[in-house]
Amino acid sequence: MSSVFELLEEIRKRPAMYVGGEDSHRVTQLRSLEHLLNGYSLALHHHGIREPVADFNREFGAFLSRTRGWSASAGPVAAIREAAKSDADAWELFWTLVDEFRDACEARSR
C-alpha cells in the first residue's frame, strides 16, 4: 500500500478480511476500522514514513468538523454514527465521506 486511501479501498472491497465481523455488524466493523487506522498512523510515525494524510482519524475528523459542523471529539466514527439514521447507513455514509475527504486532499495537493 502506498497510501491510506489505497488501504481503505482494499478494506471497502473486503471488510471482513481486514476488520472482521459480518455485514450485519457494521458498527463493530466501523469501530475496528477506526482502530486499524489509528495503528496505521502510529506505524507511519514510528517508521518515519511520510504520507499526505499521516493521521487519518485526526485529519478526517477535522474535515468532518470543517465541512459538516460535526464534533469529532470522540472520533470520526462516533460523529458519523450520530449523523446516520442507522448502523447500515453509517457504514455507507463513512465511505461517501471518505471519498469526499480523498477528493479534498487531492485538490489541496495540486
The three cell numbers of residue 104 are: 479534498
For the question of whether the overall pTM of this predicted structure is more than 0.85, the answer is yes
The reported pLDDT for the residue numbered 23 is: 82
Q: Is the pLDDT of residue 1 over 70?
A: no
CA angle in degrees (0–180, nearest 5) for 10-61-26: 50
Share of the chain above pLDDT 70, in %: 98
pLDDT tens digits, residue range 48-67?
999 989 999 999 999 999 99
Q: Are 64 and 76 in contact (CB under 8 A)?
A: yes
Scan for cell 455488524, then name that residue.
25
pLDDT-derived band at 90 (thresholds 50, 70, 90) equals very high
